[in-house]
Amino acid sequence: MLFLIGLGLWDSKDITLRGLEIVKNSDAVYAEFYTSKLGVGVEELEKFFGRKIEVLKREDLEDKSYRILERAKKEDIAILVAGDPVIATTHISLLIEAKKLGIPARVISNASIINAVCALTGLQNYRFGKSATVSWQKSRHFIDVIKANLSIDAHTLLFLDLNPPMKICDAVEKILELEESLGKHFAVGIARAGSDNPAVKCDRLKRLVEFDFGEPLHTIVILSRRIHFMEYKALKLFASAPEELSEWVV
Amino acid sequence: MLFLIGLGLWDSKDITLRGLEIVKNSDAVYAEFYTSKLGVGVEELEKFFGRKIEVLKREDLEDKSYRILERAKKEDIAILVAGDPVIATTHISLLIEAKKLGIPARVISNASIINAVCALTGLQNYRFGKSATVSWQKSRHFIDVIKANLSIDAHTLLFLDLNPPMKICDAVEKILELEESLGKHFAVGIARAGSDNPAVKCDRLKRLVEFDFGEPLHTIVILSRRIHFMEYKALKLFASAPEELSEWVV
């Protein structure tokens, strides 16, 4: 059987009891950190879980996934993924392949960055639209997503490239290169969500580069043009939002 | 200190190790099940966690929240919430009140229904737009949300009323009463996400009433008018989607 297990947000203690039980009882434990990362290394997980963990590369779960699926026909295989396992669409492909081969598979869900962002900013989950990724490669798809969300008054969660981890200042530069008008728009920068020392700051997008968010992992939310009054109160208290954000409250 | 702890999707084992550690060490443990529910009762949680749990009513966390906040000034107070604690906006108010009173507060995030829905259906998280609730009361707000999401090619996750738990057949009836044209639209019904016996079925919305989803908790996703090819493959395999869904693939 194949288990895709979410590790949650930051370190060894963010796994669920159900996930840990499977890790302890599986015949082999793998992990991948190319779609999502934790705040700690694999050595800490190995020590804490008391299991040897083999770290997989992208090709191991894509072109060469038959190797792992072959093992999962006879053994219980756990694959650990930071955050929630199916936020990355590549793992849905693996579930599809397993299903076709008649291999039972189960996903152990966990918190992903979207959960943490709402906890840290007070933004309301149901007001988020589609999410998108700001990558080091040239692509303006995320600009289209931001605009689509703005057209229906929805916030946009932007994942920042992980290879290597992109910082908020890099991402702001990329956004403004493609769409300068977004500079005046309000946004929230979030660093190290789920850790003991997160950083959260709301300001006009172009001003976020002046704030020291510290080490990755970083994320940005582009706010909808209308903010709920409760969101405004929360952003003032939790993200030091400037007074002028009040003009956006409906 | 105040801790809002997510219980995750279904039973006692869905809490994270970090959450469990806080439950064990807190001076008092509360829980609320009016914004979100588990598949098991509070007695099972009490037995498994080895703690007495006081179940709160809505007023205890709204008008009378000062009582709990007063305790949290001097003691460590854990409040357990099914799923992720801040999906319910009412808990963001509690965090705001705590912050104003200078009471340290921390949210222990966990998986919510949106994570489980992607795991069970293979739908891609980043293609979901705003979410909405179908309630027993007369309200057509969710119809506006569905339409807004359709205008930007986004899926809509519909939470169904929990008091008492609404079934997919009830929700379909409510939707069609307000917007008959959605009947021909493709949707996915999901029951008991996160449990050992979930049920998942994709079909035209009006046809979902013919499928026996079994006991609650139930959820519906209204699909975008364009489906990614991988989503189509997943819906065929995991949700017995009809062949005609292929016309929606882009």
Binary contact (B119, A128; C-beta < 8 A): no
- pLDDT tens, residue by residue, A136-154: 998 999 999 999 999 999 9
**Cis? peptide before A217, omega within 30° of 0:** yes
CA distance readout (Å), A31 to A6, A82, B90, B212: 10, 9, 36, 37
Neighbours of A180 (CB within 10 A): 10
Provide the mean pLDDT of chain B: 96
- pLDDT tens, residue by residue, B206-237: 999 999 999 999 999 999 999 999 999 999 99
Binary contact (B152, A131; C-beta < 8 A): no
Does the pLDDT of residue A48 top 90, yes or no?
Answer: yes
**pLDDT for position B138:** 85
Residue A130 DSSP class: -
**pLDDT for position A226:** 95
Does the pLDDT of residue B194 top 90, yes or no?
Answer: no
- Can you tell me which residue has the tokens 């279904």? B10
- What is the C-alpha separation between B177 and A115, in angstroms, rounded? 33
Per cent of chain B over pLDDT 90 is 96
The model's confidence at residue B54, banded by pLDDT at 50, 70 and 90, is very high
- pLDDT tens, residue by residue, A219-232: 999 999 999 999 99
- What is the C-alpha separation between A65 and A32, in angstroms, rounded? 13
Q: Which of A122, A127, A133 sits opposite B96 (nearest CB)?
A: A122
Cβ-based contacts of A153 with chain B (< 8 Å): 148
- pLDDT tens, residue by residue, B140-172: 999 999 999 999 999 999 999 999 999 999 999
- pLDDT tens, residue by residue, B80-99: 999 999 988 889 999 999 99
Binary contact (B17, A12; C-beta < 8 A): yes
Q: Is residue B92 less than 8 Å (CB to CB) from chain A? A: yes
**pLDDT for position B89:** 86
Shortest CA distance from A234: residue in chain B: B96
Neighbours of A195 (CB within 10 A): 17
**Cis? peptide before A164, omega within 30° of 0:** yes
**pLDDT for position A136:** 96
- What is the C-alpha separation between B153 and A145, in angstroms, rounded? 10
Q: Which of B85, B116, B233 sits opposite A96 (nearest CB)?
A: B233
Chain A, chain B: beta-carbon pairs less than 8 Å apart: 179
Provide the mean pLDDT of chain A: 96
Per cent of chain A over pLDDT 70 is 100
Give the distance from CA A169 to its chain's centroid: 18
| A87, A115, A134, A139: best to mutate for the B interface, most B CBs within 10 A | A115
**pLDDT for position A235:** 98
**pLDDT for position B33:** 94
Average pLDDT of the residues in B37-48? 95
Question: ipTM of this model?
Answer: 0.95
Strand partners, B56: B32
Average pLDDT of the residues in A19-46? 96
Strand partners, A219: A159, A190
Does the pLDDT of residue A218 top 90, yes or no?
Answer: yes
Cβ atoms of A132 and B126 within 8 Å: the answer is yes
Residue B246 DSSP class: G
Shortest CA distance from B230: residue in chain A: A93
Cβ atoms of A3 and A31 within 8 Å: the answer is no
**pLDDT for position A52:** 98
Cβ atoms of A102 and A108 within 8 Å: the answer is no
Quick one: residue B50, left, alpha or beta (phi over 0 = left, psi -120 to 50 = alpha)?
left
Cβ-based contacts of B18 with chain A (< 8 Å): 13-14
- pLDDT tens, residue by residue, A183-202: 999 999 999 998 999 999 99
Average pLDDT of the residues in B172-179? 97
Average pLDDT of the residues in B164-190? 97
Burial A6-44 (b: 16+ CB within 10 A, else e): bbbbbbbbbbbbbbbebbeebebbbbbbbbbbbbbeeee
Cβ-based contacts of A129 with chain B (< 8 Å): 129-130, 149, 152, 154
Cβ-based contacts of A87 with chain B (< 8 Å): 115, 118, 125-126
Does the pLDDT of residue B4 top 90, yes or no?
Answer: yes
Q: Is the dihedral of CA B211, B240, A100, A2 positive or negative?
A: negative
Does the pLDDT of residue A89 top 90, yes or no?
Answer: no
| B5, B115, B128: best to mutate for the A interface, most A CBs within 10 A | B115
Q: Within 13 A of B205's CA, how many CA atoms are on the CB side?
A: 25
- pLDDT tens, residue by residue, A174-186: 999 999 999 999 9
**pLDDT for position A56:** 97
Neighbours of A69 (CB within 10 A): 19
Residue A180 Cα, gap to closest chain B Cα (Å): 22
Does the pLDDT of residue A216 top 90, yes or no?
Answer: yes
- What is the C-alpha separation between B129 and B112, in angstroms, rounded? 16
- What is the C-alpha separation between B5 and B51, in angstroms, rounded? 15
Give the distance from CA A158 to its chain's centroid: 9
Q: Within 13 A of A46's CA, how many CA atoms are on the CB side?
A: 10
